[in-house]
């Protein structure tokens, strides 16, 4: 079960050389629900600008989901960031749209994508 509105996500701030990065951390009320990603792919994606990156650079999006997104007209990570912004930065709306585009049956991967895109937005567009 994923937490949407009933759970909150804290952010951890890490400063390096005057640049502040945010990463999602689970809160106590999320115990037993979803654990925030700590993969190298998530860290690499969320701490670098996404301009020109493939959609498959997004955490949770690999070959199968990536090819489905490319076929649906979303070849770059920039397009998924636009999808996030068009969804009003709202978690459920973004996840529903991304799941519909990818045909994903495992929403855990889509949650990884949401947290990665959210971190990029917080790090570079806020």
DSSP structure string for 19-82: EEEEEEEE-GGGTTS-PPP--HHHHHHHTS--TT-BGGGSTT--HHHHHHHHHTT--BHHHHHH
Structure tokens at 103: 């045909």
Query: Distance (Å, rounded) from C-alpha 74 to C-alpha 8?
Result: 29
As a whole number, mean pLDDT of residues 108-119 equals 92
pLDDT 10s digits, 48-57 = 888 889 999 9
Q: 37: closest CA among 2, 81, 5? A: 2
pLDDT value, residue 19: 55
Average pLDDT over residues 86-96: 94
Per-residue tokens: 58 = 């997004």
Give the global pTM: 0.71
């Amino acid at each position: 079960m994923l937490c949407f509105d009933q759970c909150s996500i804290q952010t951890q701030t890490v400063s390096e050389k005057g640049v502040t990065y945010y990463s999602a951390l689970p809160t106590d009320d999320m115990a037993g629900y979803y654990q925030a990603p700590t993969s190298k792919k998530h860290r690499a994606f969320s701490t670098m600008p996404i301009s020109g990156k493939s959609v498959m650079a997004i955490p949770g999006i690999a070959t199968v989901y990536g090819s489905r997104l490319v076929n649906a007209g979303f070849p770059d990570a920039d397009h998924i960031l636009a999808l996030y912004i068009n969804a009003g930065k709202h978690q459920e709306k973004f996840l529903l749209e991304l799941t519909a585009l990818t045909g994903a049956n495992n929403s855990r991967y889509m949650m990884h994508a949401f947290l990665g895109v959210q971190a990029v937005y917080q790090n570079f567009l806020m």
